[in-house]
Structure 1
Amino acid sequence: MKNLKKMALSLCAMGVLFTSCEKDEINETVEVDAVQLEEAPFKNYMVISKSTELTKSVENYLKTSGGKIVSTIPEIGIAIVNSKDANFIQNTLKNKEIVSVVPDYEIKWIPSQAENELTSMDVSIEALTPSPGTTEGAYIRLWGMDAIDAPEAWNAGYTGKGASVFVLDSGIDRDNVEFSQNLNKDLSASFVPGEPYYTSPGRFPNHGTHVAGTIAANKNNFGVIGVAYEAELVAVKVLSEFTGSGAFSSINAGIVYAGNNKADVVNMSLGATFNKNGKLTDADGNEFKIPAKFIQEIVLAQQRAIDYAYKNGVTLIASAGNDGMNYDGNGSTIKLPGSLNNVITISATAPEGWHPFSNPNTNFDIPASYTTYGKSLIDLAAPGGDGDVSVLDMIFSVASGEDAFNYNAGTSMASPHAAGVAALIIGKYGKMSPHEVEKLLIRSSDQVDGNGQSLFFGKGRVNAFRAVTE
């Protein structure tokens, strides 16, 4: 897949309502002196051992190192330590079993902003093409399902049953009727301190709930339907539902958790972009820079988590980002987690002026205006929506709250379409290696931009029907 590059940083959060980071914002340089760096908002440190497993000797050392162990991810050799010692990094690195110590920054991975709720277009189900989705009241809005031939896959008998999808995000509305049949509440977990895996009542719209709806909203004669509507859903909260932010260690712990609990697919509709002249944005919206060596260490830690889950049979799918930039030629830039090895990275497609009655057969495969692209980054494409022409071109899915639904657009909406197709594949064939799942996703994709690697579409746009009938 992708090759790692050395970089330093800038943040561009991924996929909520039709939002992208501006290019001049990404490239803006800001001088930060040592005092500002010391005041950067971190409390904890990620201590990364040389061994990919956390040894007892390292744990014992950390207990006497002037800090308190908050948590550990022993499977990848990481401990999270809280310390007020100004010399904690330097002193800890004296231990030859420890390869790096980096502040466990909490940054924004998705924007936190208002989103549109549009639920007024009432239609008759008699007007719809026959498929299992016709019994869902809002199926007519789901152009993305038609774009990837999901109804044809359902009619062939493939619904994702037997596959599990872990949604690493900002939580899922556990009481929403659209998840009543397949959300595993016992296995769902939170790695955000002080927040349960589920969302608080009235937390409309909620990013994670919208993403989960596209993957596996139930077939229940109501609302919408997911690509793999009988797949098991597991909510893994790694981002705060209030801010869209999360610590690097939370993301890593969530990935390892999926690996430990036999996840078939992980969906990560989240991300950050790192480059030499960039910056971090913390949970309070403050911007600051960090040293280049910290970036390399952050990448090392997350790649370990990805590799661990991958070796445990997890297919990892991530959104590409909404900064509208060409990743090719940016040798000093890296996306987390999208450009890491063993991650399938998804760009976004959209129609232009689609309408279920007046313009139902428009081209669904236009690159979304905001999508990050580049042959060196994108593996596949999927419907993510756009709002330049019409809100109907966006992705309609579940929102937190009673009977709540809304439109969003972003690569965050594209990734769950692809994750749903991966679940359909595993539902048909049973447990498969991530490598085999990726090969089948690629082989069954529609070559909407010719053969080979496309700038915007990677190896093609996912196709659910072909994926289960190849």
Structure 2
Amino acid sequence: MENRRHKLLLLPSALFLSLLSCGGGGGDDDSSLLFFLLASGNGACTAEPLFGDQWHLLNSGQSGGTSGEDAGVTGAWDAGYTGSGVTIAIVDDGIDILHEDLRANINTSRNYNYVESSTDLAPHFLYATHGTSVAGVSAADCNGKGVSGVAPDATMVGYNLLLTNSDANNADAMTRNGDIVAVSNNSWGAPDLLGTLNDSLSSSLWRTAILDGINNQRNGKGIIYAWAAGNGQNSTTNRIDNSNYDGQANFRGVMAICAVSNAGKQSSYSERGANLWVCAPSNGGSLGITTTDIRDNYGYTTSDYTDDFGGTSSASPLVAGVVALMLQANPDLTWRDVRYILARTARKVDPTDTDWINNDAGIPVNHKYGFGVVDASAAVTMARTFTSIGGSSTLKSKASNTDSPAAAIPDNDVNGISRTVTVSSSGITDIEWVDIEVTFVHTYAGDLNFVLTSPDGTTAHLSEKHVCTDGTNITATCPFNGTWRFGAARFLDETADGTWTLKVTDGAADDTGTLNSWSVTVYGR
């Protein structure tokens, strides 16, 4: 849907009078001196009525926040990038399509209502509280009303998938409108605060759809999937969830997005993980996220806007909006290009945090922050002249041998067991992702630590000792018997060939288990 709009900017009175005195003939056209016609974006969006509350776009230290701890969006706007010509799919509980700050940016003919199998989301808009706020973060209109999204000239399509939630619909939503959708935001996933390895939503249908999306959609350049990393961290001392326990967030076709506060620190709920790609500003500090809310009294507030949105549910659509800016700057970017640019331009946040390392390729990475906080200005700058690393057709992959020790995991033993596999003749000199499949049995899987070490010596903590819960209380049992696929982003640009080492330790007494087999599959170029 063509979505170029123009804004009227009233001139300062002194400048207006000066212009009026410069050769004005007093004709009908003199009234045009009252305004300039400006393309959406640039400085115009900073004049939105609630922009001052949108610290995630421009953090000047509001309410005790740390100045500069934002997503660098205004720099991208100043360069002329507002997401024009790019379509974002908001896969959620729907969108309030008549909201004053959203309706101009929604392609209503391509929405999808999974309840009624129609394109009309209006009948169920009362259930679309979450999706309406998500949509506003990505692409609220820059129209002088309320807020601005990261990509105020992007087009959105909305799907109320979460009102039905079946394997078939979950898969369908990943590639629906694949001819026009460039970015798919998914602020949903497996339940948080359980601590269990959960692949209940990552069915084979869903995985196949994601692979179709990155391999074939957007004319072969691939859809870019932003995925909420999860809100189940709980605390640093009594951890529950890790993003790698979610079979969607740790899948190689998506980017798991974590959250930081307005102080530039990990939001307490934001899950750690070796699979994290980048973080984005969200709540967890002194301020929440100001965005759109369902009209009237039906949403989070009695207003049409909320200032208390958050979670990785808010961080993910912020990154989706940044991707729209990048694709406006360079529409030829593939899904692999976008991920790589985001990683290489991410800002190192909380730099004194002890988890920061440089991997063997010299790239900073952290289990809390992935490659850092998204930087829209830096991302569009790199995107403009980026030489493509290729799409799915040129992505290489190589599996290691499978190690099958059937070895007992020593109970409550920091030494544990270490096993190795080998990748050889892969032709991969620059890793982009690693899958790790581990088959094991244990009576309390939360006791286990899995640490993978690459041939170049970089470590990835795949699972960490944690508690399991029933959603409220810590449970006495947390069994696992099967195969789990972990994902790791931390080895970006390292070499694939050589010996990979998996160390498994048990951090608590009484429960026991066995490592049956494991292997790695490396993807890259």
Q: 2:271 aligns with which of 365, 369, 372?
A: 372
Tell me the matched-pair count: 305
Q: 1:56-99: CA deviations, max 9, x gaps?
A: xxxxxxxxxxxxxxxxxxxxxxxxxxxxxxxxxxxxxxxxxxxx
Rounded Cα–Cα distance in structure 1 between residues aligned with 2:332 and 2:214: 13
SS of residue matched to 2:378: helix
Q: Which residue of 1 aligns with 2:186?
A: 268
Q: Which residue of 2 aligns with 1:252?
A: 171
Q: Which residue of 1 aligns with 2:260?
A: 349
Identify if the C-alpha distance between structure 1 residues 343 and 195 changes in structure 2 by more than 3 Å, giving closer, same or farther: same
The CA deviation at 1:330 is 8.7
* Alignment pair present for 1:300 and 2:204: yes
SS of residue matched to 1:177: coil
1:21-170 matched pairs, under 5 angstroms: 131-146=43-58, 147-170=70-93
Counterpart contact for 2:150–2:322, Cα < 8 Å: yes
Q: Could you say which structure has the greater relative contact order, defined with CA pairs below 8 angstroms and 6 or more residues apart? A: 1
Larger Rg: 2
Rounded Cα–Cα distance in structure 1 between residues aligned with 2:314 and 2:347: 19
Identify if the C-alpha distance between structure 1 residues 331 and 152 changes in structure 2 by more than 3 Å, giving closer, same or farther: closer
Identify if the C-alpha distance between structure 1 residues 185 and 194 changes in structure 2 by more than 3 Å, giving closer, same or farther: closer
Q: Which runs of 5+ in 2 are unaligned?
A: 1-41, 59-69, 297-302, 359-363, 383-525
Which amino acid in 2 is paired with 1:319?
A: A
The CA deviation at 1:210 is 0.3
The CA deviation at 1:215 is 0.4
The CA deviation at 1:305 is 1.1
Identify if the C-alpha distance between structure 1 residues 189 and 453 changes in structure 2 by more than 3 Å, giving closer, same or farther: same
Counterpart contact for 2:139–2:150, Cα < 8 Å: yes
- The sequence identity of aligned pairs, in percent, is 27
Which amino acid in 2 is paired with 1:253?
A: D
The CA deviation at 1:340 is 1.1
SS of residue matched to 1:385: coil
Identify if the C-alpha distance between structure 1 residues 329 and 194 changes in structure 2 by more than 3 Å, giving closer, same or farther: closer
Rounded Cα–Cα distance in structure 1 between residues aligned with 2:151 and 2:294: 20
Which amino acid in 2 is paired with 1:441?
A: L
Identify if the C-alpha distance between structure 1 residues 332 and 459 changes in structure 2 by more than 3 Å, giving closer, same or farther: closer
Q: Which residue of 2 aligns with 1:458?
A: 370
* Alignment pair present for 1:410 and 2:311: yes
Counterpart contact for 1:192–1:250, Cα < 8 Å: no
Rounded Cα–Cα distance in structure 1 between residues aligned with 2:203 and 2:115: 20
Which amino acid in 1 is paired with 2:114?
A: F
Q: 2:121 aligns with which of 190, 193, 198?
A: 198
Rounded Cα–Cα distance in structure 1 between residues aligned with 2:87 and 2:243: 36
Counterpart contact for 1:203–1:401, Cα < 8 Å: no
* Alignment pair present for 1:321 and 2:225: no
* Alignment pair present for 1:399 and 2:293: yes
Identify if the C-alpha distance between structure 1 residues 252 and 444 changes in structure 2 by more than 3 Å, giving closer, same or farther: same
SS of residue matched to 2:316: helix
More strand, by proportion? 2
Rounded Cα–Cα distance in structure 2 between residues aligned with 1:420 and 1:321: 19
Rounded Cα–Cα distance in structure 1 between residues aligned with 2:319 and 2:43: 20
The CA deviation at 1:301 is 2.1
Rounded Cα–Cα distance in structure 2 between residues aligned with 1:420 and 1:200: 27
Which amino acid in 1 is paired with 2:212?
A: Y
Rounded Cα–Cα distance in structure 2 between residues aligned with 1:458 and 1:329: 19
SS of residue matched to 2:271: coil
Which amino acid in 1 is paired with 2:312?
A: T
The CA deviation at 1:334 is 3.4
The CA deviation at 1:258 is 4.0
Identify if the C-alpha distance between structure 1 residues 332 and 203 changes in structure 2 by more than 3 Å, giving closer, same or farther: closer
Rounded Cα–Cα distance in structure 1 between residues aligned with 2:320 and 2:282: 13
SS of residue matched to 2:157: strand
SS of residue matched to 1:165: strand
Rounded Cα–Cα distance in structure 1 between residues aligned with 2:267 and 2:366: 14
Identify if the C-alpha distance between structure 1 residues 239 and 197 changes in structure 2 by more than 3 Å, giving closer, same or farther: farther
Counterpart contact for 2:194–2:241, Cα < 8 Å: no
Which amino acid in 2 is paired with 1:395?
A: I
Q: 1:383 aligns with which of 259, 281, 284?
A: 281
SS of residue matched to 1:171: coil
Counterpart contact for 1:189–1:197, Cα < 8 Å: yes
Counterpart contact for 1:174–1:183, Cα < 8 Å: yes
Identify if the C-alpha distance between structure 1 residues 216 and 158 changes in structure 2 by more than 3 Å, giving closer, same or farther: same
Rounded Cα–Cα distance in structure 2 between residues aligned with 1:202 and 1:191: 13
Q: Which residue of 2 aligns with 1:437?
A: 338
Rounded Cα–Cα distance in structure 2 between residues aligned with 1:444 and 1:332: 22
Rounded Cα–Cα distance in structure 2 between residues aligned with 1:276 and 1:202: 30
Rounded Cα–Cα distance in structure 2 between residues aligned with 1:227 and 1:421: 6
Q: 2:100 aligns with which of 147, 153, 177?
A: 177
Q: 1:211-249: CA deviations, max 9, x gaps?
A: 000100001011000001101111122112xxxx62232
Q: 1:413-462: CA deviations, max 9, x gaps?
A: 00011001100000111142100111111122112245422111101110
Q: 2:325 aligns with which of 424, 435, 438?
A: 424
Counterpart contact for 2:94–2:121, Cα < 8 Å: yes
Counterpart contact for 1:182–1:233, Cα < 8 Å: yes
Rounded Cα–Cα distance in structure 2 between residues aligned with 1:443 and 1:400: 37
Counterpart contact for 1:344–1:438, Cα < 8 Å: yes
Rounded Cα–Cα distance in structure 1 between residues aligned with 2:156 and 2:194: 38
Counterpart contact for 1:197–1:235, Cα < 8 Å: no
The CA deviation at 1:277 is 8.2
Which is further off, 149-158 or 413-422? 149-158
TM-score after normalising by structure 2: 0.54
Counterpart contact for 1:171–1:237, Cα < 8 Å: yes
1:4-23 matched pairs, under 5 angstroms: none
**Cα RMSD between the aligned structures?**
3.0
The CA deviation at 1:202 is 7.1
Identify if the C-alpha distance between structure 1 residues 324 and 445 changes in structure 2 by more than 3 Å, giving closer, same or farther: same
Identify if the C-alpha distance between structure 1 residues 276 and 330 changes in structure 2 by more than 3 Å, giving closer, same or farther: closer
Counterpart contact for 2:188–2:313, Cα < 8 Å: yes
Rounded Cα–Cα distance in structure 2 between residues aligned with 1:319 and 1:332: 9
TM-score after normalising by structure 1: 0.60
Identify if the C-alpha distance between structure 1 residues 199 and 270 changes in structure 2 by more than 3 Å, giving closer, same or farther: farther
Identify if the C-alpha distance between structure 1 residues 199 and 408 changes in structure 2 by more than 3 Å, giving closer, same or farther: farther
* Alignment pair present for 1:228 and 2:151: yes
Q: 1:111-159: CA deviations, max 9, x gaps?
A: xxxxxxxxxxxxxxxxxxx933332100011011120111121111110
Which amino acid in 2 is paired with 1:249?
A: A
SS of residue matched to 1:339: coil
Q: Which residue of 2 aligns with 1:334?
A: 245
Identify if the C-alpha distance between structure 1 residues 269 and 340 changes in structure 2 by more than 3 Å, giving closer, same or farther: same
The CA deviation at 1:332 is 12
The CA deviation at 1:170 is 0.7
